[in-house]
Amino acid sequence: MTFNSIRPIVLCLFFVLTSAVTFADDPASAGTLKVLIVTGGCCHDYPFQSKALQDAAKARNVRVDWTIVNAGGNGTSAQIDLYKDSNWAKGFDVVIHNECFAKTTDEEYIRSITKPHFEGTNAVVIHCAMHTYRDTKIDNWRQMLGVTSRRHEHKSNYLVKNARPDHPAMKDFPKEWTTPSDELYVIEKVWPNTEVLATSVSEKTGDLHPVIWAHEYGKSRVFGTTYGHANETFEDKVFLDVVINGLLWAAGS
């Protein structure tokens, strides 16, 4: 196992404090994407979800050299060692953020995460990443995501409408899709340079909310979806198709 972009002293800490895995379908092959998954925190089955993404890429013949950092325990507040290295994102084509730490508010720490993205590290953001750092006062993380959300509604089978079938991330997405039982996130704000790709309607208020989008943040591309709460969603072909296509779009592939 290798961590090409992480300093040795931080790497040692990972083995003590985190669960980290690196492997590749064929890392020596041309066209292989280097992808980092950052995951952990409360409320979800992160090992299952990470494995589902790996299997989905392989099934679609997308070559990926994966690095997985599952850190921070299962609470709502943590500062993980990965982000303490200023070069934490170096060498990765895309970082998938699937972590859930709503109560972490340290502004310097959050800026250490968003800075590499603003400078050009592409991202995919899934579900509870939208509520991560929710309690902080600064907007850096929310600007990186492309949307602001602080709460979600009940679980249901939500109808999703494809708003941009011409976008590369949506090429395999049907005109309409109904989710497995999942949570609808209430979107308070859509930030500039965010293109809404799909929407769902609140069963409580009738309000329309973005649920899939593409975003430009500084020099990077960010693909996002608020769905992804339950394992059943990560077993759904439509969901996996759009996330892998979003990953490829974010990488510029």
**Mapping DSSP to helix (H, G, I), strand (E, B) and coil, where does residue 56 land?**
helix
pLDDT of residue 2: 37
Per residue in 6-51, pLDDT (tens digit) is 343 333 333 333 444 444 444 334 589 999 999 999 999 999 999 9
Number of CB atoms found within 10 A of residue 71's CB: 22
Average pLDDT over residues 102-117: 97
Q: Is residue 3 part of a domain?
A: no
Q: Are 144 and 116 in contact (CB under 8 A)?
A: no
User: Which of 11-15, 172-176, 225-229 has the weakest average pLDDT?
Assistant: 11-15
Provide the CA 24 distance to its chain's centre, in angstroms: 19
Provide the CA 16 distance to its chain's centre, in angstroms: 25
Q: Are 6 and 82 in contact (CB under 8 A)?
A: yes
Tell me the C-alpha distance between 102 and 218, whole Å.
Answer: 24
pLDDT of residue 5: 40
Tell me the C-alpha distance between 106 and 238, whole Å.
Answer: 36
107, pLDDT greater than 80 = yes
3, pLDDT greater than 80 = no
Query: Among all chains, which residue has been given the structure tokens 């990470």?
Result: 50
Pairing of the two strands 220-225 and 122-126? parallel
Q: Is residue 77 part of a domain?
A: yes
Q: Is residue 104 part of a domain?
A: yes
Q: Is residue 1 part of a domain?
A: no
For residue 193, the domain's CATH number is 3.40.50.880
Average pLDDT over residues 127-149: 97
Residue 32 has what DSSP assignment? -
Compute the mean pLDDT over every residue in the chain, rounded to the nearest whole number: 90
Q: Is residue 2 part of a domain?
A: no
Number of independent structural domains in the chain:
1
**Mapping DSSP to helix (H, G, I), strand (E, B) and coil, where does residue 134 land?**
coil
First to last CA, the chain: 26
Which residues span the domain enclosing 14? 8-251
Per residue in 64-105, pLDDT (tens digit) is 999 999 999 999 999 999 999 999 999 999 999 999 999 999
pLDDT of residue 86: 93
